[in-house]
Amino acid sequence: MKTLDTKKERMEALKLVTAQLKQLEKSKHPSILILINELKERQSMLNKNHEWLFNFKDGGWNSSMGKDKQEAIKEAIKTYGKDVDPTTFRISTYEDERALLSLFY
Q: Identify the weakest region by mean pLDDT among 16-20, 48-52, 64-68, 101-105.
A: 101-105
On whether both 62 and 32 belong to a single domain, the answer is: no
- Judge if 22 and 56 occupy the same domain: no
Answer whether 10's CB lies under 8 Å from 4's CB: yes
Q: Which domain holds residue 13?
A: 2-47
Among candidates 61, 59, 46, 41, which has minimal Cα distance to 12? 46
pTM of the entire structure?
0.76
Model confidence pLDDT, tens digit, residues 81-98: 999 999 999 999 888 888
- Number of domains the chain is built from: 2
